[in-house]
Amino acid sequence: MFGLFKKREKHIVEFTDGNWDEEVLQYQGVVLVDIWASWCGPCKLIGPIVEEIADEFAGRAKIGKLNSEYNQKSKELGIRSIPTLLFFKNGKLVNKIVGAQPKNNIIEKIEKYL
């Protein structure tokens, strides 16, 4: 009975001020950063979608979240509204979406840069 249910592996990365350079700027490939906060209603709606996308793109793109409440990086990036999705390719910011988006819009942007 124990073998029937496998624990679902999570592929989402937690970005922080401390790991930003290594995880985002030095990464060779596509990175999606979801900038969020616990008090943000739309962030709660898009969060599970971003987690699903992380699982679907595992091994092809790095997908993670940056909590704006605990990390100054969001201020350094000039983020004024959340959720904000940032798309990086080879360490360079290539696109940005502000506000909750349907899953297919996010996937379309990722695939554009793969």
Query: Hey, where are the domains in the chain?
Result: 12-113
pLDDT of residue 7 exceeding 90, the answer is no
> What is the SS3 assignment for 98?
strand
Indicate which residue of 40, 79, 85, 106 is catalytic.
40
CATH 3.40.630.30 assigned to domain 12-113? The reply is no
> 39 - beta bridge partners?
none
Over residues 83-100, the mean pLDDT reads 97
Catalytic residue among 43, 54, 63, 100: 43
Lowest mean pLDDT among 5-14, 61-70, 100-109: 5-14
Encode pLDDT of 17-42 as tens digits. Answer: 999 999 999 999 999 999 999 999 99
Predicted confidence at residue 62, as pLDDT, reads 98
What's the pTM value of the predicted model, to 2 decimals? 0.90
User: Can 107 be counted among the known catalytic residues?
Assistant: no
| Catalytic residue check, 43 | yes
